[in-house]
Amino acid sequence: MARWASFGLGRNITFSAVHVTELSSRHPSKNIRQMLTFGLIGLANTAAFFLIANGLNLFLDESVSAYLAYALLVPVSFFGHRRLTFKSDAAIAREWLKFCIVQALNLSLIWSVTTVSGIYPILSGWPAFGIISLLIPILNFVIFQIWVFARG
C-alpha cells in the first residue's frame, strides 16, 4: 500500500511524493538496473557539464559558464532519465514541469557554489564545478524517483 506525503506552497500548489519506504519494496533487480542506468546517464551528463563548463570558462565568466553548460544539458537529461532510467509513460508535460522545478533548485545550488567560490578563490574553477557535479546527481536521483517520475 502506497503512503503519500503532501505539502503545500500556497494557493493551488501542492507537491506529493510516494513515501520512501515504498521505493524499497520493488524487486531488487529493478532497483539495481535503475541505479545503474541513472548512474550512466548522470555520469555522461556530469562529464559533459564538467567539460562544457570548463571549455566555456576559457571565454566566459565562471558563473555564466556553469549556467550555460547546465542549461544545454537539461533536455538531454530529461529524455534520458524519462525513457531509460524510469521508463515513464506518464504525461510528458507534467513530468517536464516537475523536472524543470528540480532544475531550478539545481540552479540555486550552482549559484550558491559559484558564489562561495568567488569568496574563497581556492574553490574557484574546477573545484566549484566538481562540487556541483557531485551534489546534483545525488539529490536528483532521490527527487526524480519519489516525485518527478513517480508512478501512482
Q: How confident is the model at residue 58 (pLDDT cuts 50, 70, 90)?
A: very high
Residue 3 lies in a domain: no
Instruction: Supply the range of the domain harboring residue 103.
Output: 29-148
How many residues make up the chain in this entry? 152
pLDDT for res 152? 67
Evaluated on CA atoms 143, 147, 148, 152, the torsion sign reads: positive
Specify if 23 maps to a domain: no
Q: Is residue 15 part of a domain?
A: no
Flag whether 137 is in a domain: yes
Does the predicted TM-score (pTM) go above 0.95? Answer: no
Mean pLDDT is highest, among 1-5, 66-70, 89-93, for 89-93
| 19 within a domain of the structure (yes/no) | no
Residue 128's SS3 state is helix
The greatest distance separating any two alpha carbons of the chain, rounded to the nearest whole angstrom, comes to: 54
103 belongs to a structural domain = yes
Domain membership flag for residue 21: no
The answer, yes or no, to whether residue 138 has pLDDT greater than 70, is: yes
Confidence check: pLDDT of 5 > 70: no
H or E element at residue 108: helix 92-119
Q: What's the grid cell of residue 109?
A: 545550488
Residue range 97-125: mean pLDDT, rounded: 93
Strand partners, 14: 8
- Mean pLDDT score of the chain: 83
pLDDT exceeds 60 at position 3: no
Percent of the chain scoring above 70 in pLDDT? 82
The confidence band for 66, taking pLDDT boundaries of 50, 70 and 90, is confident
Tally of domains within the chain: 1
> In what helix (H) or strand (E) does residue 5 lie, and over which residues does it extend?
strand 4-8
Query: Is there a domain that residue 22 lies in?
Result: no
The DSSP result for 20-86, as a single string, is HHHHTTS-HHHHHHHHHHHHHHHHHHHHHHHHHHHHHTTTS-HHHHHHHHHHHHHHHHHHHIIIIIS
CA distance 57 to 124: 11
pLDDT band at 7 (very low <50, low <70, confident <90, very high): very low
Nearest to 98 by CA among 55, 144, 50: 144
pLDDT at residue 62 above 70?
yes
Model pLDDT for residues 10-51, shown as the tens digit of each residue: 444 444 444 444 444 567 788 899 999 999 998 898 899 999
